Structure 1
Amino acid sequence: MLHPVIHVVNQMRLEVKYLLYTLCLIVTTGFAGAQPAAQTKWPYWHTSMVHTAWYKRDGAPTVNFQMTQDDRGMLWFAATDGVYRFDGVRFERLSAIDGNKLKSNNTNGILAVGSALWVGYNFGGVSVFDQGKVRYYGKEEGLPEHTVYQIRRSRSGVMWLSTADGLYRLERERWRRVGLEAGLPPAEYKARFEPLDDGTIVVANSAGVYRSTRDGRQFHQIAISDKYEVMQIRADGVVLLADHAAQLFRYSVDSEQITPIILPDIKLPGSARFDGRGALWVNAEGKLNLLGPDMRVQRSFTSPENLSGNITYDFFTDRESNVWIATENGIDRIRESRLNVIDLYPKIFGWISVQADLSGVTWVSSYSATHSWSGNTYGLRPDGSWIEGLAHNVSASTRAADGSIWFGSAESLWRLQNGQWQSWPLAADLRGHDVQAIAMDAQARLWVSVQGKGVFVFHDGQWQAGGGIKSLSGRPAISIYADKDLVWFGYPANHMALLDGATLREYGPTDGLEIGNVTAMARHRSGLFVGGDQGMAVFDGNRFATMLDGEGQSLGGISSLLSTRGNELWFHGADGIVRIGDAELTSSALGKHRINPEYFNYLDGHTGKPAQMRPLAELSEAADGRLWYATSGSVGWIDPNHIVRNTLPPVSQVTGLRTDHQNYPAVPGLVLPKHTTNIELDFTAAALSIPERVRFRFRLVGLDKDWRDAGSRRAAFYTNLDPGNYHFEVMAANEDGVWSSTPGSLDFRVEPAFMQTVWFKLLCVALALSLIALWYWWRMTLMTRRVAERLGERLRERERIARTLHDSFLQSVQALMMQFDLIRYSLSATDPAQKKIEHALDSAGQVLEEGREQVLALRLNHELSGDLESALSGLGQILAPRHQSRFTLRMHGTPRPLRAMAAAEAYAIAREAMLNAFRHAQSDEVIVELRHTARQFTLQVSDRGRGMSAEIRERGHRPGHWGLTGMRERAQDAGGTLEVHSEEGRGTRITLRLPERRAYARKEADKLAATDQ
């Protein structure tokens, strides 16, 4: 009698549990609601996946109902405390979008359509935010005051809403309820719907499943829901169903066929959904299970170990194929890793090494330094099955050129060749000491380094200390590498040895080796590369050169080096696996010594650490090109030829601007107040797979000459900004170095204060010019006064000298002549002294005449004042009558004011020439010509007298007289040239030529220069 009761109770428990899962799914989202149309075809998941969880402490939303992704790649979440935005690094809870506030922070539905973001509220209404503007739809636009569950857009561009009151369609900015008139009956629960790829709409409610026509105006029933609950509607027309016994079914809208989904590993499935790869995820027994193509569990995620919560509210696949899960505690991301980690055989643990043979089997060995247990060696076949090998507690291994694999331990050596095992015990005195390193040289001799004992050669079953090289025996090497006919030995503290035949050469720090303990070596076509715990170096045949990465950092912690058949260099280091391309290696060998390696670390699924004290074989290249690696607790592989790359360029964007006093949204036409000098610009780019490797560069156009490298920093700072218009740009590169196709930008303006305006600057310029003009006027007035004073002083000095000469010297000479004349009259006419006195009186008369001329010159010179014509005319009018001659002054061209210095020198030259002409030429006429042209000024004094003798022309002056010499010197000082032309009996012509820039006056300051002469 108890069996029926137990059966009923169990059935009730099953239905209650299923109902809880289904109600949770129905009330929160209809998890497929945010799924984008599956247009991108991604490969099925492999077993290696990276999981990351964000909790409330990380800023993530909890109890998030729906998520969406905008055209920039940003994730948006609708939660009960607002809208959240996520770029892969930080969550931002927003109560306003682009400066426009939400109608309520209690949100439920959300959808990104192009540049617009649609947000539905739990208490009714929808807001549409688009490029800084907002549009609200509420009761006046036909929407009920009920919860908005889903927002969708059909292929024809029509917007649809699922609310607690039914399904609504937007027509001409007004919402219309879709009801019986359209063939859609009312339902007990909210409608769950999805636009299909063919343009139709599929709606599921408690009455059944309905499909619309292409215009979306009429619906017809395609399935009845009395037996099934709809769990997901996909855009390709596949509907995921569950019956009351929790059995899953796949229903095709087009064929109307229901196919059961058999789950071999799951007895009681809860909620289920397909992701963007077509994989099925099922909640069952407290786990979120990923099913493989065979519907068996491929990977399970549990809470709290690797899932943030127990309840799945929403499930979303982004455009990079990552799966996002919203739980009651936070947000989870599951993505595929680049390193493929395998499930280890249960007996494999400890320090692990790998060697891949030519048959496709990868041999995994475990090692313990304590020897408390003996880890065996197991081979992983290509089909995933394991086989057991003979080697145990392997501390070193190598693959020889013939394809054989050698293993070494503290007790034995093993060789695996063509599937056959063979072993040899260590020499008696070596047993109990781990084999540190082994390598097979070109003569098929196995070089073995034994801890604490030294280096030995094992060949044909015989052991030879040091291989016959005394300095190698008793000296253990950390690493050994056979390089064709050469054998390299690595030692601690930057030391190596090279065996070439019977010659051993030592290398150390003096040879450029600075990598610490030498742990690994590999030959590339560009040189021998050597790795250590403190760096990596390349050997060019003579010296070692240390290798650095692009940021100038050393490449340390290297435990294994491998040169692949693709001419790449891979090494296993403390932080993961590193790939260096052939082009980088070639350029480094040419002297660059800086490389840009590609890292595969914890972000790519790398776990554990490689051995450092004993460099095990932790990298091996298989026959199919895959690279196998091992760490302290994992084994995996990567295929260098088939690494999945993210070719999707990130869309960079500016998210905000901060000043010292206020935060501003990044909206077009942003205007900052006056006195703003310091700003911070926040930017981001949604590369959601590995956001930790996203790199940025930015510039403020007009201020930055080139792009600035920001690294992973997502902010730019500027200080001491001037007022004006600015254009800020930012670019981003994803984890694979794909840069944004166009920069994100923000235009903003800093308002100027009055003192920073153009009008203020013009006013300052005008004031400055006025002050300069005032100062110039004052200076010129002062200079003019000084010039007048100096001219007055000179005038008075000349007049005083002239008066002194006239009143004293000339009068004294005149008196002296009168005394001599009285003496002459007192002598008889025949007195011999008579002629001497007459001669002396003639000479005194000449002296008196010259004195009068000098006095005249002094009195005339003050009248010059730049008017050369008047001065020369006055002088000529005085001299001509005295010497019974005529004087003529001729003018040519338009007279122009002369520089004071030029006028003074020209006057002095002309006066000397005129005096010579009147006194000595015995000419009946002296002619002075002044010629003013645009290029030069010419002064010419000519006569028709007796001319100069050949002796005077040859010497350039009359013996005892320096008049001609003085004229030439004055001409040179004035910047001109003097020409003297004379012929005996035909007169003399003296010509002064001054260039325009030295002759003509330009500024009043020339007067001051003239007074200083």
Structure 2
Amino acid sequence: MRALASFVCVLAPTGVRATGIEGFKHNSWTSEQGAPGNVVGLTQTPDGYLWLASAEGVFRFDGLSFEHIAPPPDPRFASAIPTAVFADRQGRLWVGFNQAAGAAIYRDGALHAVPMTKAPPSLLKFAQRRDGAVWASWGGGGDRLFRYAQGRWQVMDRALRLPAGEIASLAVTPDDSLWVSLGRSREAGMLARLSPGAARFQIAPDQVGFTMLARAPDGGLWVSDQYATRQVRDAGGRLPEVPSRFAPVSGAAVPTLAFDRRGGIWGTTRGVGLFRAVRHAGTANVQRLGEGRLLSSDATIETFTDREGSIWVATDAGLDRYRPAPVARLSSVPPDVQDGLKLARAPGGAVFVASAHQLFQTRPEGARRIGSGLGRVGALCSASTGVWAVHGGRITRHGHGSASLPLPPDSVTPTACVEDRAGRLWLNGADAVWLRDAGKWRRHPANLDGSALDLVRDPTGEGILVNTGRDALLRLTPAGSQRVGASQLGLGTLTALWTVGDAAFVSGATGVARVTATGIRRLSSVRNPWLVGVRGMALDRRGDAWFLVRLGIARVSARELARGFATPHATLRHRLFGAPDGYDTRGQAVSFRGAQVASSADGRIFFATRAGTLMVDPALIARNLVPPPVTIRMVTAGEQSRRDPPAMLRLREGLHDIRIAFAVNSLAVPSRNRTFFRLEGQDSGWTAAGLRREASYTNLKPGRYLFRVIAANPDGVWNRTGASLAIEVPPTFVERWPFRLLCAAAAAVLLWLAYRIRLRFVARRIRSRLLDRLRERERVARDIHDTLLQSIQALMLRFQLASDALPPDHAARRDLEAAMDRADEVVAEGRDRLRDLRRSDGLEDPEAALREIAGRQLVGSAVAATIRSSGTRRPLDAGAWDELASIAAEVLFNVARHAHASEVLVELDYRGSGLTLRVEDDGVGIPADVARDGRRGHFGIPGMRERAGRIGGTFRIGARREGGTSVIVTAPAAMIYRGGGGTR
């Protein structure tokens, strides 16, 4: 059996089409890629996760990473191993365990035990009927069949009279029948059916071995045993009218089956690898696959078909996947790295392939060898019937109407050939082109200026086009030659030359040109860099173009191709097929000439590569229309993680950093999924995730956020709803508004204290300056009093003595006495001014000082003055009081001279905030402009404002509503009160 594990054995005619195993892209995950070993169960939940039951535990897979799910915390599950996984119609995941642990269900990011009164040694299979009840079984003796409904388990063996035997599997068909396969031994088994509404199982008459049951996509019931892999019931539960049957697989033990979308059936064997059964052209084929080639282990246990059509196989080494791939390899045509593959399309549409001294003809069911032992095939080209092949020293026509001709007398074996429209045969040689005309070979006289690398029919006439590897083509006819210049092609050094229908195509360093009878059109690689290194191109039935390029295979729709040739610098929409699509090789070396791409009559496209002949069947390329499921997989904040979080998540206080892991569960080609995320309230736009499946945010401010993820699968089908997670970052105490209010209040208090301190400092400095001024004024007053006034008085005494010496009627005496009277007035006025310079005398009784000022300033007028005070009297600062008293004197002086008033009120108002001086009269008032700016040429009002400003106070003057003028001066407590303190 191990011999079967080293190669693919095809029980069919030689060759396969894309519907064979080669039509599937294989991937495997073993322990090296993080996969668990000994996988025994597979299923997929509606959120797209692939779930695995293995000896290492329960895992879920998003196409990129395996995530272990811990068992339930119940002690019964501590050492139990998962034996089965099952996704029911409600999207719940069920897990069966051994060691009599029972079952568990996945909910809210964890597995939870589903209690069983008496659990069996293990639960191996699950099924669900329309009523929502879940059925479970195990394969040994005793209680074997269990039903879970309305929150409890029931044992159903005896109640439903299930026949004796070991249960292999369960299945529910579309008519809601529950089928059970049982085994009396490893070779003999039976089928039991519980029809809808039936009270007991019925034994089916089918002869089966010990087998698993599988439900096909059409609802049919299949088994695979020592007799055959076959359908036993149709979707209605009846015997199939036309039984579908495949030969049994030798060595297979209890195969499990899965169905692909190309009509194939995949089966496990538990020891001899994997098999695939498929019907081609009415012939039933069974292919086998073994370890070492597209399979991680021969011990294949379970198969599963996911929602995107991929086949998953569980083995004891890990996990294998077979995804329908656009690009398949013809395994029956061996690669030829020594001489290279050669392709040619016959007029009827058949594609011929020369490889490894053999010639093959492709057919819908595969490729058939039509010649072997040919020796090195130097050239292969299309003939009027069949193809021409250069080998064995001759050029031979294969296909309809065989013919063989000698080669021209040249020292080099031809590597290029072409048959023109007139049926003439052309071959290349050593710096020459040979033409067979009238049954003879002759050397064409054209100067090649190089080697003839490629020969194709000339779309414009009866000759051919020659690529010499330079920047121009040669057009040869039997009569002469013509150069198709570089200016017309504009491609630089030419790479390859081929024909498609009635057009010739040539590729070069800067793009591709199409040569037709109507002219030359170009596609530029400047806007289409994928066009660099084009080796060939063919059209499918729809007219879409398939290019073999350096990066892989590129498909361009017929409409895009026409637009590109009409607009040479246009950017073409295209799809590139690379390694994930089955193109995991490169094109052949440039030294291997001839056609590298060819299309067959049935629409398939063939490509010559280093790995062999690759094939694309456009009819089998289906667009994946399944929007990729998107989930929030894990949220980590601080030391805490939450798997599958709820739609609304509130973080713990003090946490401002968060990591959000998400999954895009389009498992076909995860690397090509396009994913974008954003955190509304933080991000200004969407962020492309690339291959990342995690987003991290730090220093989030308290508030509410919405995290969103959207994705598109490789075919551009979007899930724009995606997944979302509302996140609340709660504020800590120091981030809440009461704390902020306290901080604001504290800041206000600090500012107030700072203001008070600053005010005291400024007041102290101002008082110091005022005190200095006051002392200077007192000094000046003393000096004037002690010097000037006394000197004047002394001088007046001398004048008085001189006057007394004169006769009483002397005219000079009268003049001297008048001058002395005037001098007395000056001395008296001087004394008054000196008193004004020393107003600090009124500090102990400001009201008396104001009365004295009023008496002096109002003398000679009819104005009656009222002096009063209010509030608690406080000791005043000398410097500030001096400024305030000076303002009062100036106001009263103006009242006496300008107000025409009868009464004036002078009031001092003591307050905690400061002292207010109010002077109000009932006179004629004051114009608004005079109150604002003062009289032109007078400095009384500006001076009073300056005095108020010097003590940090305010000065307001204006007309009273009831008539007269009001002057209000306010001095702050810090300035006016001695010590600077206000009332508290």
Tell me the TM-score normalised to structure 2 length: 0.68
- Judge conservation of contact 2:880–2:975 (CA < 8 Å) in 1: no
1:644 to 1:245, Cα distance in 2 relative to 1, 3 A: closer
Code of the aligned partner of 2:213: Q
- Judge conservation of contact 1:437–1:479 (CA < 8 Å) in 2: no
- Judge conservation of contact 2:498–2:536 (CA < 8 Å) in 1: no
* Residue 924 (structure 1) shift: 8.4
* Residue 268 (structure 1) shift: 9.4
CA distance in 2, matches of 1:870, 1:626: 123
CA distance in 2, matches of 1:874, 1:569: 116
- Judge conservation of contact 1:86–1:92 (CA < 8 Å) in 2: yes
> What is aligned with 1:498?
none
Cα deviation digits, residues 196-245 of structure 1 (max 9, x gap): 223221222246322223257532333254x5554424276533246754
Cα deviation digits, residues 172-211 of structure 1 (max 9, x gap): 4332222344232222x22522122232212222463222
1:813 aligns with 2:796: no
- Judge conservation of contact 1:824–1:837 (CA < 8 Å) in 2: yes
1:279 aligns with 2:267: no
The secondary structure found in structure 2 opposite 1:811 is helix
> What is aligned with 1:504?
none
1:343 to 1:82, Cα distance in 2 relative to 1, 3 A: closer
Code of the aligned partner of 2:190: G
CA distance in 2, matches of 1:445, 1:841: 147
Q: Which moved more, 1:903-912 or 1:630-639?
A: 903-912
* Residue 49 (structure 1) shift: 1.9
1:150 to 1:478, Cα distance in 2 relative to 1, 3 A: closer
1:763 to 1:92, Cα distance in 2 relative to 1, 3 A: same
Code of the aligned partner of 1:184: L
The aligned runs of 1:479-878 (5 Å cut-off) are: 517-518=509-510, 520=512, 536-538=525-527, 557-559=532-534, 572-578=548-554, 598-610=575-587, 631-633=609-611, 644-657=622-635, 665-668=643-646, 680-700=659-679, 702-719=681-698, 728-744=707-723, 778-779=757-758, 782=761, 785-786=764-765, 789-827=768-806, 837=816, 841=820, 844=823, 847-860=826-839, 874-878=852-856
Code of the aligned partner of 1:155: R
1:106 aligns with 2:81: yes
Q: Which moved more, 1:647-656 or 1:818-827?
A: 818-827
> What is aligned with 2:468?
450
- Judge conservation of contact 1:108–1:119 (CA < 8 Å) in 2: yes
Code of the aligned partner of 1:458: R
* Residue 712 (structure 1) shift: 0.6
1:471 to 1:519, Cα distance in 2 relative to 1, 3 A: closer
Code of the aligned partner of 2:306: D
CA distance in 1, matches of 2:157, 2:122: 18
- Judge conservation of contact 1:436–1:449 (CA < 8 Å) in 2: yes
- Judge conservation of contact 2:327–2:581 (CA < 8 Å) in 1: yes
The secondary structure found in structure 2 opposite 1:296 is strand
CA distance in 2, matches of 1:622, 1:411: 33
> What is aligned with 1:329?
317
1:54 paired residue among 16, 24, 29: 29
CA distance in 2, matches of 1:857, 1:45: 122
* Residue 887 (structure 1) shift: 3.0
1:178 aligns with 2:152: no
1:198 aligns with 2:182: no
1:445 to 1:98, Cα distance in 2 relative to 1, 3 A: farther
- Judge conservation of contact 2:258–2:304 (CA < 8 Å) in 1: no
CA distance in 1, matches of 2:625, 2:42: 24
- Judge conservation of contact 1:433–1:451 (CA < 8 Å) in 2: yes
1:160 paired residue among 135, 138, 156: 135
> What is aligned with 2:48?
73
Number of positions where the alignment pairs a residue of Structure 1 with one of Structure 2: 863
Q: Which moved more, 1:203-212 or 1:907-916?
A: 907-916
CA distance in 1, matches of 2:536, 2:814: 128
Q: Which moved more, 1:903-912 or 1:791-800?
A: 903-912
> What is aligned with 2:200?
218
- Judge conservation of contact 1:909–1:967 (CA < 8 Å) in 2: no
CA distance in 2, matches of 1:563, 1:298: 32
The secondary structure found in structure 1 opposite 2:666 is coil
The aligned runs of 1:342-421 (5 Å cut-off) are: 373-377=377-381
The secondary structure found in structure 1 opposite 2:857 is helix
1:254 aligns with 2:270: no
- Judge conservation of contact 2:96–2:104 (CA < 8 Å) in 1: yes
1:924 to 1:168, Cα distance in 2 relative to 1, 3 A: closer
The secondary structure found in structure 1 opposite 2:853 is helix
The secondary structure found in structure 1 opposite 2:837 is helix
Instruction: Give aligned-pair identity as a percent.
Output: 25
CA distance in 2, matches of 1:238, 1:773: 88
Code of the aligned partner of 1:687: S
* Residue 79 (structure 1) shift: 1.9
Code of the aligned partner of 1:318: D
Code of the aligned partner of 2:98: N
- Judge conservation of contact 1:520–1:560 (CA < 8 Å) in 2: no
- Judge conservation of contact 1:97–1:129 (CA < 8 Å) in 2: no
Q: Which moved more, 1:128-137 or 1:80-89?
A: 128-137
> What is aligned with 1:500?
none
The aligned runs of 1:83-98 (5 Å cut-off) are: 83-96=58-71
* Residue 171 (structure 1) shift: 3.9
1:450 to 1:761, Cα distance in 2 relative to 1, 3 A: same
Code of the aligned partner of 2:239: E
Code of the aligned partner of 2:232: R
> What is aligned with 2:451?
433
Code of the aligned partner of 2:221: V
- Judge conservation of contact 2:631–2:663 (CA < 8 Å) in 1: yes
CA distance in 2, matches of 1:218, 1:130: 34
> What is aligned with 2:15?
none
Cα deviation digits, residues 417-448 of structure 1 (max 9, x gap): xxxx9999654543871337989799999875
CA distance in 1, matches of 2:352, 2:840: 118
CA distance in 2, matches of 1:592, 1:929: 97
> What is aligned with 1:143?
119
> What is aligned with 1:21?
none
- Judge conservation of contact 1:436–1:477 (CA < 8 Å) in 2: no
CA distance in 2, matches of 1:56, 1:301: 21
CA distance in 2, matches of 1:462, 1:611: 35
- Judge conservation of contact 1:956–1:965 (CA < 8 Å) in 2: yes
CA distance in 2, matches of 1:766, 1:395: 94
* Residue 306 (structure 1) shift: 1.3
Q: Which moved more, 1:440-449 or 1:574-583?
A: 440-449
Code of the aligned partner of 1:289: R
- Judge conservation of contact 2:256–2:301 (CA < 8 Å) in 1: no
The secondary structure found in structure 2 opposite 1:310 is coil
CA distance in 2, matches of 1:282, 1:684: 30
> What is aligned with 1:880?
858
CA distance in 1, matches of 2:321, 2:882: 98
CA distance in 2, matches of 1:405, 1:970: 122
- Judge conservation of contact 2:62–2:664 (CA < 8 Å) in 1: yes
Tell me the TM-score normalised to structure 1 length: 0.67
CA distance in 2, matches of 1:613, 1:1005: 101
CA distance in 1, matches of 2:800, 2:512: 128
The secondary structure found in structure 1 opposite 2:788 is helix
The secondary structure found in structure 2 opposite 1:65 is strand
1:874 to 1:380, Cα distance in 2 relative to 1, 3 A: farther
CA distance in 2, matches of 1:394, 1:685: 51
1:518 to 1:613, Cα distance in 2 relative to 1, 3 A: farther
> What is aligned with 1:64?
39
